[in-house]
Structures are given as structure tokens and as C-alpha cells.
Chain A
Amino acid sequence: MATVSVRQALKSFGTTRILHGVDVEIADGEFVVLVGPSGCGKSTLLRMIAGLENITGGEIAIGGRVVNNVPPKDRDIAMVFQNYALYPHMTVRQNMAFSMKLAKAPANIMEEEVQRAAKILGLDALLDRYPRQLSGGQRQRVAMGRAIVRHPQVFLFDEPLSNLDAKLRVQMRSEIKELQQRLATTTIYVTHDQIEAMTMADQIVVMNGGRIEQAGAPLALYDRPANLFVAGFIGSPAMNLLPGRVADGGFRTDGGALLPMPPGGPAQAATYGIRPEHLSLAEDGVEGTIVLVEPTGSETQVTLRIGETLLTGAFRERVKGRPGDSLRVMPDLSVVHLFGPDGARLSG
């Protein structure tokens, strides 16, 4: 177990700069999720920590030791790949034992370690199978088993669930988190799925365009997004982000809707953010026309048109309305997010 520090990490492929000076501090035993849209540099950063990509600038330290020029095998890390990268010509047992075999570990130790990992992951019955004979979830577990047997200081996961179907993904998500809590090994996990990030992480690092937009605990990011990007990225359904200006005793959106301002709200606000779940049905609320009703059972998502502005709300109540009907909704003023013209958060 170890801390991981990334300081001013730079990465360029030729003249194309992928990472523009990234800083991340990861505490011992912490579960950190790097999240962001495709091409934001999160996988590149993970591969730099693994040693699969060299570091153009800055430094990366694992357990206090700068590893910029340390080859991958000496970094004491284990990685789970998106496609699992299981050796197809080796059985599950051989796959898990491969690193120990290369290290010339004695046979009885190897078998012990494999058995221990297999027990943790429920792979006991599958040890003599080949990867081809396994389901996606089982392959995923073998990939984790291969990481576990090495007792690494850091686990690295590169979008490990993206090849699984939705139900299995939810199940494996809990398994990975549970496993990490049991082993208490520092873990860095890359995903583009903000739900995965929210549910699993101790700390989320939101990346975009090779920079870190915000880092912090999941709920801190949810409650106080630092800028428009994080506000739009974290949370599902996504936050309503309505450009406009403070006028007429409230916030006038570019689409013409007039929304109430929180008391003492900054006058230079240029974007009004409200999460769908923070809208409630209210007789004295803002009137809009229903465009779309999407019931999910536990809640109902309704898209409203107010002037030219579209606003999505998520309500616990069963909304009876049909498209074309009018509906009155009220934002919870204590959780309105206001952003300045530069996209940075204004309100407290």
C-alpha cells in the first residue's frame, strides 16, 4: 500500500499535448476514480502511472519514490485492462500464476496464492479453464485475480466494466468496491461513466481536455461543482444549465424564462444551474409546457418548455400531465448553482 503523487505531469505525443500539467495526490488505501469524456487524457495518465507511457514532463511518485524512469515491473503495481488482456493460451491458474512464475516463485507458494485469490473471487471451480470458456464477468474476475496475487502497492483499473452488460456492470461495480475495501489497497480507476465514479470513489478527479476540472469527494462534486463542466458532467439526469442574466427581479434565461434568484445571489451570474431533482411541483412556481414525460417507476422525469428554454425536472410524485399540458415547478433556491461568464462557480 502506498501513496501516489502526480505532480505537474505533462504528456505529448509528437507535437500534440495530451496532458497539460496534472496534479493528483492520492492517499494510502484511497479509491480514486479518474473520470471524464473520451480523449480527456485519463487513460493516458493511468498508463503513465503504470509505466506503459513515458512521462514527457513533471513527476510521478509511488510510495514516495519517483518512478519516472522505473520500468513497469519494478513499480509494484498491478493493472486490469479494459479488454482484460488475459493470456488466451493459458488456463485461469496459469494466467494468475504467470507473474509469480516469471519471478521464479516456489510451486507451493504459487498454488497457495492462486487458491487464495480464487477463493476471494469465487473462481475455485474455473481454475483449469481457458479464458475462451469464461463469461465476461468471470474473465473480469480472473483479470482481478491476476492483480491480487501480486500484492501490489497500487491497483490500476482501465475502464474494466465497459465490456460488460448493464446488469453485470452494476454487480461487478459493487464487487470491485467491496474487494478494495477488504484489501485496503490504493486504487486508481479510470472510467467515463460518472455513475461508476460516484458510487465507487473516495475521491473523484474530473478531467477534461488534458486538465483537471475538479477533484474531491463524490458528494462534494455533486453539491458544489466548481465549474460548468463538472456541473454538467456529474449527476444523472444532468443538471439544467441555463445561460442568461440577472434581470427583472430574477434570472432571465436567454430563452425568455424568468427564474427566481436565491437571496443575495451574485449579479454577474451568467448561467443558472438547477438539478432536475431539485425542482418541485408548486402552485406558485414557474409555468411551463410539458414536452416529454419519462416515468422510470421510482421517479418521473418531465421536460418542460418555458419560453424557448427547456428545463428537465425529476419528481418523486407521479406526474399526471401529458405533452402540451402546463405544469408549474419551483426550484429549491438553496441548491441553485450560479456560474459567472467564465464558467466558474459564483454562489457559495
Chain B
Amino acid sequence: MSATTAAPVWTKMRPKQGALTRLFDWKPFLAFICLLPAIGLLMTFLTYPLGLGIYLAFTDTTIGRSGIWVGLENFIWLADDPIFWNAVFYSVFYTAVATVGKFALGLWLALLLNQHLPMKSLLRAIILLPWIVPTVLSAIAFWWIYDPQFSIISYLFVDVLGVRDTNIDFINTAWPARWSLIAANIWRGIPFVAISLLAGLQTISPSLYEAALLDGASGWQRFRHITFPMLLPILAIVMTFSIIFTFTDFQLVYAITRGGPVNSTHLLATLAFQRGIPGGQLGEGAAIAVSMIPFLVFATLFSYFGLARRKWQQGEGND
């Protein structure tokens, strides 16, 4: 083709925009439209149930009868209820002991998995198993493990090793039941902690350890001065989540002991359910559930301050 048959002159015409196009180009409207699905979901499944729960806590609603506003009566009544206070105690105790256990073992496991081990990825997958299994399933497994008659642990100690004459009492008196549930919760919670902390460990540059090695740091000193401070931010996040999950735990306890024996292992969540649904006292159950809020707010504040970026993580700004 010769160059003289010049290409037709083409000018770009700016197409006229319709009203709808202009509306969608308007940023506030667009932002609102894009947020709408999320807002809808959150309102329906978070705000409404939370609001309803808080409202119910101030009424004497029972199942089948909408109640009337009774103000703080539910809470005043709960304040004199030893079972409620027992549930508060056990919720705090359960959370504290289980969190310490999960983090001690989880961190240890994460440190082990961070070493060069044969079949590392297979091991990591196995570690995750307790977390993958539905809680109710593992709870039922633990129910069997803790069974007064058929417990495998009792079998081991009595029939195989012969170190005991009687079966072990796991869940039929108050304190053994409390500890047994904590053990089950720790078992279930370790993978989450271990895998999260492992991810944190892997972000630490190996050359830092080499530098510390040359600086003369022993294994413990490397952990104390390098690993732990560098892991602290992620440790704070994981711990916050873990505390919230543990404090609001329901499934394990409800599936294994249902709060028994004699209400000794009730957590706030199981007690709220017990009173609200089987007991029919929706208002009172809601009040118990609402009384968890201060504890959870505290845990969230812990995360807020724990996660606040430390000075060394901050960017260029100097002082």
C-alpha cells in the first residue's frame, strides 16, 4: 500500500454521557453502591442479632411470650445467682489456662516445625488435623476418651500398665471435669496457634540468626533477643483471637459435659443457652450473653494496644 493513499482523518469523539453513566461516575454514589452488599450482610447477621440480644437482656421474654421491658432486673437477679458467678469464674479460668497452654505448646511446636525436619510439609499437615475436624466430632471423641467406663486412658492405666486399680474419673466431679475440658480445648487450639506463629517465624530473616550466632548468642539468647521480640506483633494478634474464641467457646463444653456435673463446667455461653433455649427464659439467657461483652471488649482493647505498631516497625518518620 502506498503512503499517498493517506489514512482517513480520525478524531476521537467524546461520547455523550447518559444520566445513569454520570450517576455511576459520581464517587459518593459509587462508594455507597459498592458497600451496600457488605452493609446489608453485616446489618442482617451481626447488628440485628446483637441489637436484639441486648434488647432481650432487658426484657422478661420467654419462649412463646414476648416480654416487657424490665430494665436491669435480669442483671440484678444474676448478680445473686451463684451458678452465674460460677460460670464467670470458669469462663475466665478456662480462657486463662487454655490460652497459656495453647501458646506454650503452640509456640514450642512452631519452633520445632521451623527447623529443617524430614517430611516437614507432611508434619505441618498433620498438625493442622485437630483444627480441621469439626469441633463436635472431636468433642464426641473426647467424650469417649473421658468416659467413666470405656475411657482409653483408664484402659491404658488399669489394664495395660496396671498402675491403677480403678478407672479415672474425668468428667463426673467438678475439678477433674474442669481440667479435662481445658485439656480438650488446648488440644483443639494448638494448631491455630502453631501454624500462625510458624508463619510469623518464617518472616524472620535467617541472616539475623547468623548475625546473632557470630555475636555469640546461645540458643536461648537467640530466642530471647531475636525470635521473641520479632514474633511479638503476630503473637498479640493470634492471642487476641485465641482469647475471644476460647472465652466464647460453646461446642466443646456442651458436647462433653453440658455444663455439668452440677453446673460446675458452665461457660457463659453454655449457661446462656441453657437458660435461654432449653430453659425458655430468653431474657435471662440474653442477659448472661450480654455480660460477656465487657470481657470481649477488654480482649479487643488488649489487641488494639498489643498490636499498636511498635516504634521499630514504623517507617521513616524519626522522632
* A residues in contact (CB < 8 Å) with B: 50-52, 71-73, 77-79, 81-83, 85-90, 98-99, 102-103, 129-133, 146, 150
Q: How far is the CA of A131 from the CA of B210 in the complex (A)?
A: 18
CB-contacts of B173-216 with A (<8 A): 205, 207-208, 210-216
Are A72 and B314 touching (Cβ within 8 A)?
no
Q: Which 8 pairs, one residue from A and one from B, show the smallest C-beta to C-beta distance? A: A73-B216, A99-B215, A85-B207, A85-B211, A130-B312, A89-B312, A89-B229, A102-B216
Given contacts A89-B229, A98-B225, contact A73 B215 (CB under 8 A): yes
Distance to closest chain B CB from A153 (angstroms)? 13
Are B229 and A99 touching (Cβ within 8 A)?
no
Q: How far is the CA of A71 from the CA of B218 in the complex (A)?
A: 11
Is B311 part of the binding interface, using a Cβ–Cβ cutoff of 8 Å?
yes
Contact among A78, A83, A89, A103 for B214, CB-based, below 8 A: A78
Q: How far is the CA of A99 from the CA of B213 in the complex (A)?
A: 10
Taking A85-B210, A87-B212 as given, write out 16 further A-B residue pairs in contact, using a Cβ cutoff of 8 Å, ordered by the A residue number.
A52-B210, A73-B213, A73-B215, A79-B214, A81-B207, A83-B205, A85-B207, A85-B211, A87-B225, A88-B312, A89-B229, A98-B215, A98-B217, A132-B315, A133-B316, A146-B215
0/1 string, B144-178, CB within 8 A of A gives 1: 00000000000000000000000000000000000
Given contacts A88-B230, A102-B217, A102-B221, contact A129 B318 (CB under 8 A): yes
Q: How far is the CA of A183 from the CA of B317 in the complex (A)?
A: 34
Are A83 and B215 touching (Cβ within 8 A)?
no
Distance to closest chain A CB from B215 (angstroms)? 4
Chain B residues, CB < 8 A from A132: 312-316
Contact among A87, A103, A129, A130 for B216, CB-based, below 8 A: A103
Distance to closest chain A CB from B217 (angstroms)? 5
Q: How far is the CA of A79 from the CA of B207 in the complex (A)?
A: 11
0/1 string, B300-319, CB within 8 A of A gives 1: 00000000001111111110
Q: How far is the CA of A217 from the CA of B207 in the complex (A)?
A: 31
Chain B residues, CB < 8 A from A72: 213-214
Are A89 and B316 touching (Cβ within 8 A)?
no
Is B226 part of the binding interface, using a Cβ–Cβ cutoff of 8 Å?
yes
Contact among A52, A83, A150 for B213, CB-based, below 8 A: A52
Chain B residues, CB < 8 A from A83: 205, 207
Provide 14 A-B residue pairs closer than 8 Å at the C-beta atoms, listed in order of the A residue: A52-B210, A73-B217, A79-B210, A81-B207, A82-B207, A86-B211, A87-B212, A87-B226, A89-B230, A89-B310, A98-B215, A98-B225, A130-B314, A132-B312
Chain A residues, CB < 8 A from B225: 87, 98
Are B316 and A102 touching (Cβ within 8 A)?
no
Chain B residues, CB < 8 A from A103: 216
Chain A residues, CB < 8 A from B212: 87, 98
Chain A residues, CB < 8 A from B230: 88-89
0/1 string, B224-236, CB within 8 A of A gives 1: 0110011000000
Chain B residues, CB < 8 A from A73: 213-217
Q: How far is the CA of A90 from the CA of B216 in the complex (A)?
A: 17
Chain B residues, CB < 8 A from A133: 314, 316-318
Distance to closest chain B CB from A155 (angstroms)? 11
Task: Using CB atoms, name the residue of chain A closest to B215.
Answer: A99
Chain B residues, CB < 8 A from A102: 215-217, 221
Distance to closest chain A CB from B84 (angstroms)? 44
Residue among B208, B214, B216, B310 with max Cβ neighbours from chain A (10 Å): B214
Q: How far is the CA of A146 from the CA of B215 in the complex (A)?
A: 9
Are A79 and B311 touching (Cβ within 8 A)?
no
Distance to closest chain A CB from B309 (angstroms)? 11
Distance to closest chain B CB from A73 (angstroms)? 4
Chain B residues, CB < 8 A from A77: 214
Q: How far is the CA of A131 from the CA of B211 in the complex (A)?
A: 15
Q: How far is the CA of A242 from the CA of B230 in the complex (A)?
A: 55
Residue among B211, B311, B315 with max Cβ neighbours from chain A (10 Å): B211
Chain A residues, CB < 8 A from B217: 73, 98, 102
Chain B residues, CB < 8 A from A129: 318
Distance to closest chain B CB from A299 (angstroms)? 40
Task: Using CB atoms, name the residue of chain B closest to A131.
Answer: B312
Contact among A81, A89, A90, A150 for B210, CB-based, below 8 A: A81
Q: How far is the CA of A81 from the CA of B317 in the complex (A)?
A: 25
Q: How far is the CA of A82 from the CA of B211 in the complex (A)?
A: 11
Are A90 and B214 touching (Cβ within 8 A)?
no
Chain A residues, CB < 8 A from B316: 132-133
Residue among B210, B215, B312 with max Cβ neighbours from chain A (10 Å): B215
Task: Using CB atoms, name the residue of chain A closest to B207.
Answer: A85
Given contacts A81-B210, A87-B226, contact A99 B314 (CB under 8 A): no
Are B213 and A90 touching (Cβ within 8 A)?
no
Q: How far is the CA of A78 from the CA of B226 in the complex (A)?
A: 18
Chain A residues, CB < 8 A from B221: 102
Chain B residues, CB < 8 A from A89: 229-230, 310, 312
